[in-house]
Amino acid sequence: VAAMPHLVQLQEKHKDSGLEVVGVAAHEAAPTAVEARTKLDAWLTEKCSNLNYRIAFDHTGEMNRLWMEPSLAVGIPTSFVVDRDGHIAFIGHPMQLDEVLPKVLSGSWRTSDQAKAADAERIATSEPLAREQALKKPINERYWAAVKTEDWKTALSAIEEGIALTPDDINFRQAHVHLLLHRMRDMRAGLPVIRQLVRDAIDRNSEHWMIVALDQLFHPNLDHSRFPSAERFAMGKELSEHMLALNPPQGDGRKFLSYPAVARYHHESGNKDRAIELIELALKSLDGPEPIADGLKQHLLPDLLQALANYKGEKVCYGALCAAPQKDPPKRSKRRPRRKPKKER
């Protein structure tokens, strides 16, 4: 999402030089290709109505098989620049294209020392990650197939295998907690797992790990009714204090990622004023000294504004965008859920 406005700008800037941008949607989750295409069309209409380049839809896995995996590309977005001779001249993040594209269009990039150095660095960085992804691929496939059928025991077995293989993978650790506490509702097995996640997040001093742990404890879309209240709030307090020490309110750090999670803890603890203050600091950090992509800003703004409106109990605005307070989202049923869960990103 954050890269798409940038690609719009690049297409407009270089269209007369022969540039043609094509986006490929290759990871659309839906039971059928028709439903995936319909969801994609609706999403593009809502989020990216000003696109000046085409979006291709791949539902067969060809993009992964022929492009991503052979090039050791380990994440999205990844951009491939094909030059006038039909050669792949560059592989990398779209935000790197400002420097690369003019040189590709002029024909000076592909054989340059800069291009060779960039490719060597990309391979050295990506190869270990690609190898790890290949090992995790069958585990992930087994996990998501089990989630689709709500076979939680098989899903748990897959995740435990993943953790044994890569114990430092936060995605496996998050799925482990989520399965036990929020899918299987097994407090006896789940409490030690969330305790260990909290401990490891703090020991690592990792903002990302702490956000993951805090979300499992206080995200409003999750049902915490069976969780021992005193322990949940004690964990939340410890995580919040460490997160604020890592990224203090008086500093210039990016607060828009971590502060919403801390604000949720304070709001549920009854400290509404502190929750409001934290969301306001998160909003302010969107315009901080360290610039962020406009697409990312537009992606984050609605949720931040909605949280602020809910905490204040009144309509709030940021520029032309406004939000009115909403009632708390419905908690999940205490019974075994029957709806298919959405894949978490």
In a domain, 157, yes or no: no
In a domain, 59, yes or no: yes
In a domain, 56, yes or no: yes
In a domain, 177, yes or no: no
Number of domains present in the structure of the chain: 1
In a domain, 12, yes or no: yes
The CATH number for 49's domain is 3.40.30.10
Distance CA 330, CA 10 (A): 42
Helix, strand, coil % in the chain, rounded to nearest 5: 60, 5, 35
In a domain, 168, yes or no: no
> Is the CA virtual torsion 109, 110, 113, 114 positive or negative?
positive
pTM check: above 0.75: no
In a domain, 10, yes or no: yes
In a domain, 80, yes or no: yes
Domain range enclosing 55: 2-111
**pLDDT, one tens digit for every residue, the chain (345 residues):** 778 888 999 999 999 999 999 999 988 877 788 998 998 999 888 877 788 999 999 988 899 889 998 888 878 899 999 999 999 999 999 988 999 999 999 999 988 999 999 999 888 888 888 888 888 989 999 999 999 999 999 999 999 999 999 999 999 999 999 999 999 999 999 999 999 999 999 999 999 999 999 999 999 999 999 999 999 999 999 999 999 999 999 888 889 999 999 999 999 999 999 999 999 999 999 887 776 777 678 788 999 999 999 999 999 998 888 999 987 654 443 333 333 444 443
3-state class (DSSP) for residue 293: coil
